[in-house]
């Protein structure tokens, strides 16, 4: 029997990957955490508050982010992806491709002077393209590691061979345009995949008007619109005329439970639409909200009570009805046309702003990573989990956790991560 390497690799630094890393590190096991973005945090960092407690999302996440970056047993590899895997459980060899940051990690102090002066403005992906960022930037204010990066595709030095303003203003001499992408190999005993999810693009559902009607947005865009650190500084206004919206509608199951798109349930939308309606009401208690649903899947502990609280304390109206289409009047107000499932009548209601609860879908690139690792996908293109031990992938020594194996909320992702960490530790502790 070969040597057993006492190290675990975790691919993906969202809440699931972070929790698994911290569990293992606390057990004295070394962790190599691979994140393809320039900061860890995943989708949870984009959320304003989280159900079922309505705690501020970043307030819960931030201590875990810094613990991850400071823990002596965790080595963080950002801007990195897995390119090749060989070996066997207990002794895997993994080739990592790391993109250049063009900023020296040990010099940058995130003072922001370079950002202020950078002339290049591009869509900010973290803010769902609702505002612009610069070509030198950090993913989000509280991002970890707290270091800038230069986006080569948009930086004027790389595209037009002129500029270097950031280099001139940086007193720490942290800019380094000579950095190169690099490849290196890591040797680990087991692997946890925690690469999370993407969001269904509702533009293809032309009847809902997303992309054509300014006052139809997605739920993740709404998280950013209502968040104090988001593009509106937390004061909700509707995109078309900047007025305060008073009548909101949420449409559940957009792109999910639908054989033409994704037949599976997205599992979180019934809860997060209630949460978003609650937050909107807390911002302005003149806001009236209707939530259109097929059925309410509030299966977690305290979830039914949460929905009831939405009804009783936040005046949320739950309408059991299938939304057929969204129209727009000449004031740009969205009009929801739906079939009332109780009366079987087709009805129409006018709103100021409509929010689409788009389903969580498999992460772009998940299939490619599955091929690299030699693990299987399920019928819906999430990673295939063992039916009885869901943290096990189809390959020995490789484990799964969080929304990369099925749509999952944060509490379940955390539980899943601890399960995967325990399984990954078992392999390397065999000796």
Ligand X SMILES: Cc1cc2nc3c(=O)[nH]c(=O)nc-3n(C[C@H](O)[C@H](O)[C@H](O)COP(=O)(O)OP(=O)(O)OC[C@H]3O[C@@H](n4cnc5c(N)ncnc54)[C@H](O)[C@@H]3O)c2cc1C
Binding-site ranges for ligand X (CB under 6 A): 11-17, 34-37, 42-44, 47, 50-51, 81, 194-197, 199, 219-220, 223, 268, 272, 275, 360, 363, 365, 369, 402-404, 408-411, 413
Contact partner, 101, from ligand SF4, ligand X, none, Cβ < 5-8 Å per class: none
Q: Which is nearer to ligand SF4, 108 or 236 (CB)?
A: 108
- Residue 142 CB contacts under 8 Å (≥ 6 apart), including other chains: 41, 45, 58, 62, 65
Do residues 358 and 150 make contact, with C-beta atoms less than 8 angstroms apart?
A: no
Q: Does 156 bind ligand SF4 (CB under 6 A)?
A: yes
Return the HEC string of 229-286: CCCCCCCCCCCCCCCCCCEEEEEEEECECCCCCECCCCCCHHHHHHHHHHHHHHHCCC
The CB-of-266 to ligand SF4 minimum distance in angstroms stands at 37
- 230 makes contact, choosing from ligand X, ligand SF4, none, with CB < 5 to 8 Å by partner type, with none
Q: Which residues contact 125 (CB under 8 A, 6 or more apart)?
A: none
Question: Are the C-beta atoms of residues 3 and 26 closer than 8 Å to each other?
Answer: no
Candidates 58, 165, 336, 398: give the one binding ligand SF4 (CB under 6 A).
165
| Residue 92 CB-half CA count within 13 A | 27
Cβ 309 to ligand SF4, closest distance in Å?
43
Alpha-carbon span 98 to 119, nearest angstrom = 27
If binding is defined by CB under 6 A, does position 39 make contact with ligand SF4? no
With respect to ligand X, which residue has the nearer C-beta, 84 or 243?
84
| Residues in contact with ligand SF4, shown as a per-residue x/- string from 175 to 214 under the rule CB under 6 A | x---------------------------------------
- How many CB atoms are closer than 10 A to CB 343? 9
Alpha-carbon torsion (258, 261, 265, 270), positive or negative: negative
Does 109 engage in binding with ligand SF4 (CB under 6 A)?
yes
Question: Which residues sit opposite 262 in a β-bridge?
Answer: 256
**Which part of the chain contacts ligand SF4 (CB under 6 A), choosing from 1-9, 147-155, 188-196, 340-348?**
147-155
Binding of ligand SF4 by 373 (CB under 6 A): no
Among 157, 249, 319, 414, binds ligand SF4 (CB under 6 A): 157
CB of 193 to ligand X, least distance (A): 8
- The H-or-E segment that residue 96 falls in is strand 91-98
- The residue (of 111 and 298) whose beta carbon lies closer to ligand X is 298
CA distance 328 to 181: 48
With contacts defined by CB under 6 A, name the span among 103-111, 208-216, 307-315, 325-333 that binds ligand SF4: 103-111
Q: How far is the CB of 19 from ligand X (least distance, A)?
A: 8
The residue within the footprint of ligand SF4, chosen from 65, 74, 120, 401 (CB under 6 A), is 120
Strand partners, 345: 340
- Bridge partners (DSSP) of residue 133 are 122
Q: Which is nearer to ligand X, 80 or 154 (CB)?
A: 80
Q: Which does 15 bind (CB under 5 to 8 A by kind): ligand X, ligand SF4, none?
A: ligand X
Q: Which two tokens stand for residue 10?
A: 């975790």
Our finding on whether 144 is near ligand SF4 (CB under 6 A) is: no
Q: Which of 135, 270, 357, 414 binds ligand SF4 (CB under 6 A)?
A: 135
CB of 143 to ligand SF4, least distance (A): 12
Within 8 A by CB and 6+ apart from 378, the residues are: 384, 385
Size of the site for ligand SF4 (CB under 6 A): 27
Residues in the chain: 431
Q: Among residues 197 and 281, whose Cβ is nearest to ligand X?
A: 197
Q: Is there a cis peptide before residue 145, judged by omega within 30 degrees of 0?
A: yes
Angle between helices 15-26 and 57-70 (to 10 degrees): 40
Instruction: Give the residue, chosen from 8, 18, 68, 174, that forms a contact with ligand SF4 under the rule CB under 6 A.
Output: 174
- φ, ψ of residue 146 in degrees (nearest 5): -85, 65
Site residues, ligand SF4 (CB under 6 A): 103, 108-114, 118, 120, 134-136, 148, 150, 155-157, 163-166, 169-170, 172, 174-175
């Amino acid at each position: 029997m070969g040597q057993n390497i006492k190290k675990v690799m975790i691919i993906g630094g969202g809440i699931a990957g972070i929790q698994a890393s911290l569990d293992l590190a606390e057990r004295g096991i070394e962790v190599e955490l691979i994140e393809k973005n320039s900061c860890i945090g995943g989708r949870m960092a984009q959320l304003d508050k989280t159900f079922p407690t309505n705690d501020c999302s970043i307030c819960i996440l931030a201590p875990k982010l810094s613990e991850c970056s400071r823990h002596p047993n965790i080595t963080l590899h950002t801007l990195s992806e897995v390119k090749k895997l060989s070996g066997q459980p207990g002794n895997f060899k993994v080739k990592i491709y790391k993109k250049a940051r063009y900023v020296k990690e040990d010099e940058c102090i995130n003072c922001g002077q370079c950002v202020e002066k950078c002339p290049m403005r591009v869509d900010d992906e973290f803010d769902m393209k609702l505002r612009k960022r610069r070509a030198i930037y950090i993913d989000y204010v509280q991002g970890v590691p707290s270091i800038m990066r230069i986006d080569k595709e948009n930086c004027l030095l790389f595209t037009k061979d002129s500029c270097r303003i950031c280099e001139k203003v940086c007193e720490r001499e942290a800019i380094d345009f000579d950095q190169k992408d690099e490849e290196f190999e890591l040797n680990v005993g087991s692997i946890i995949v925690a690469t999370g999810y993407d969001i269904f693009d509702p533009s293809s559902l032309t009847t809902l008007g997303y992309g054509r009607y300014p006052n139809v947005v997605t739920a993740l865009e709404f998280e950013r619109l209502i968040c104090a650190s988001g593009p509106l500084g937390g004061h909700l206004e509707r995109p078309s005329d900047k007025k305060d919206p008073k009548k909101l509608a949420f449409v559940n199951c957009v792109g999910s439970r639908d054989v033409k798109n994704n037949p599976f349930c997205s599992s979180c939308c019934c809860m997060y639409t209630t949460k978003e309606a609650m937050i909107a009401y807390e911002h302005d208690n003149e806001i009236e909200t209707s939530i259109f649903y097929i059925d309410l899947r509030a299966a977690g502990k305290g979830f039914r009570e949460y929905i009831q609280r939405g009804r009783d304390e936040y005046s949320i109206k739950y309408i059991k009805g299938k939304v057929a289409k969204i129209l727009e009047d000449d004031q740009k107000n969205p009009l929801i046309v739906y079939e009332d499932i109780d009366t079987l009548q087709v009805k129409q209601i006018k709103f100021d702003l409509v929010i689409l609860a788009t389903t969580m879908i498999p992460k772009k690139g998940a299939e490619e990573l599955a091929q690299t690792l030699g693990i299987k996908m399920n019928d819906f293109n999430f990673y295939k989990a063992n039916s009885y031990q869901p943290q096990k992938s189809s390959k020995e020594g490789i484990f799964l956790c969080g929304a990369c194996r099925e749509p999952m909320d944060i509490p379940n992702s955390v539980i899943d991560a601890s399960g995967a960490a325990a399984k990954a530790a078992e392999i390397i502790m065999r000796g």
